[in-house]
Amino acid sequence: MRVVIIGPAYPLRGGLATYNERLAQAFQEAGDEVRLVTFSLQYPGFLFPGQTQFSTGPAPEGLDIEVSLNSVNPLSWWKVGEKLRREKPDLVVFRFWLPFMGPALGTVARLAARNGHTRVVAITDNVIPHEARPGDRPLTRYFLSACHGFVTMSRSVLADLRRLHFRQPALYRPHPLYDNFGPTKPKASALAALKLDPSFGYLLFFGFIRAYKGLDILLEAFADERLAALPVKLIIAGEYYEDAAPYEALIRQHNLESRLIRATDFIPNEQVADYFCAADMVVQPYKNATQSGVSQIAYHFGRPMLVTDVGGLAELIPDGEVGYVVPPAPQAIADALVDFYARQREVEFMAGLAAKRQEFSWEVMVAALKEVAG
């Protein structure tokens, strides 16, 4: 089968690019011919909250990546769509995560499908975004109505599709493991690589910092007197995608500075293993969510997790088996963290992780995309 994947990929950086590149490898492993089409311009600079959209590392090996789609230039949409119409790939897979991308991706999808052969499917991270803006619904509908089928990575997104009355074939399949950050390291080696004191335990908050991810809730929880009495520090590893001032105010208010490890720049792929393997637990205190690639990195490295009971997060984290599922409230988070250390549950949860992680396969994702294409 000839497959084209359209979405972020190298030289763009971040979780979406990492996912799409790993998906391309999975199609190759299934014997398919694959090309990635990524953005020459993903976001205009004034819309991008981070430091840079581009990777400083080497290109992934063995992947055919075409940099040609400009999210705000209709001429590029037409060129990419017309090229696909002429080439007649069997399957075009779009990654849809933001209504802003609806016009570009929806136009390309419509043009590609005009050849009467190409099937158009989408991995829909969200159909109702975390942070709503005017015009979200019509932009989303424009893209979704151009697709022949969908795969969602949480049941809540599948329900949203049906709530919006889209009746194309759709399947829920959980986010596969992120197994492309290298093998698990001994904790001592990871601590040494990060120059962290091994006499402390470490909790990890990982990923871009945005309001819906609840770092403020975690900082409130970490101020709990019971946690302050433990030799435990919180690693904040990820770039601010919004104003850091409210978080800094909480840190000063609760006198947390000496109990934090800050790594608030983009974490390159080659350092991801160190942060996860150094941590006793990965904490995701989200206020709302659909699914999270952070969970699947934690599964790969065998790290226990605490997630909040919002969106699709709890679908992948059996409470009490691989970690904790709690309400998005400081007291509930603090109680779980205290329990984790007081009852020394790390080894128990690691055993549960080893059993559960077998469910998250890239082969299953590839098969689902082909199935919904019809």
Domains along the chain?
2-172 (3.40.50.11930), 187-359 (3.40.50.2000)
Q: What is the pLDDT of residue 115?
A: 98
DSSP 242: S
Check residues 56 and 235 and name the one with the higher pLDDT.
Answer: 235
pLDDT at residue 46 is higher than 70: no
Q: What is the pLDDT of residue 131?
A: 65
Other CB atoms closer than 10 Å to residue 162's CB: what's the count?
A: 10
Query: Measuring CA to CA, how many Å separate 369 from each of 1, 128, 172, 200, 205?
Result: 12, 21, 10, 44, 31
Q: What is the pLDDT of residue 156?
A: 87
What strands, in cross-sheet order, belong to the sheet with 201-206? 260-263, 232-237, 201-206, 281-284, 305-308, 323-326
Cα–Cα distance between 32 and 3 in angstroms, integer? Answer: 7
Q: What is the pLDDT of residue 51?
A: 56
Q: What is the pLDDT of residue 244?
A: 92
And the tokens for 258? Answer: 């000496």
Nearest CA to 123 out of 142, 100, 144, 99 is that of 144
pLDDT tens string 149-190: 999 998 889 999 998 889 899 999 999 998 889 999 999 999
Cα–Cα distance between 50 and 66 in angstroms, integer? Answer: 24
Of the CA atoms within 13 Å of residue 109, those in its CB half-sphere come to: 26
Average of per-residue pLDDT values in the chain: 92
pLDDT at residue 337 is higher than 60: yes
Cα–Cα distance between 146 and 18 in angstroms, integer? Answer: 25
Cβ atoms 196, 234 nearer than 8 A:
no
Other CB atoms closer than 10 Å to residue 123's CB: what's the count?
A: 25
Residue 58: cis peptide before it, omega within 30 degrees of 0? no
Cβ atoms 213, 287 nearer than 8 A:
yes
Q: What is the pLDDT of residue 144?
A: 96
Residues with Cβ within 8 Å of 116's Cβ and at least 6 positions away in sequence, in order, are none
Q: Quick one: CA torsion of 222, 296, 5, 60, rounded to 10 degrees?
A: 90
Q: What is the pLDDT of residue 50?
A: 54
Cα–Cα distance between 102 and 40 in angstroms, integer? Answer: 17
* Cβ-based burial of 207 (10 A; exposed 0-12, middle 13-18, buried ≥19): buried
And the tokens for 288? Answer: 């709302």
Cα–Cα distance between 205 and 209 in angstroms, integer? Answer: 9
Cα–Cα distance between 356 and 316 in angstroms, integer? Answer: 9
Q: Give kind and range of the element (H or E) at residue 324.
A: strand 323-326
Q: What is the pLDDT of residue 180?
A: 86
pLDDT tens string 185-213: 999 999 999 999 999 999 999 998 989 89
pLDDT at residue 54 is higher than 80: no
pLDDT at residue 48 is higher than 90: no
pLDDT at residue 49 is higher than 60: no
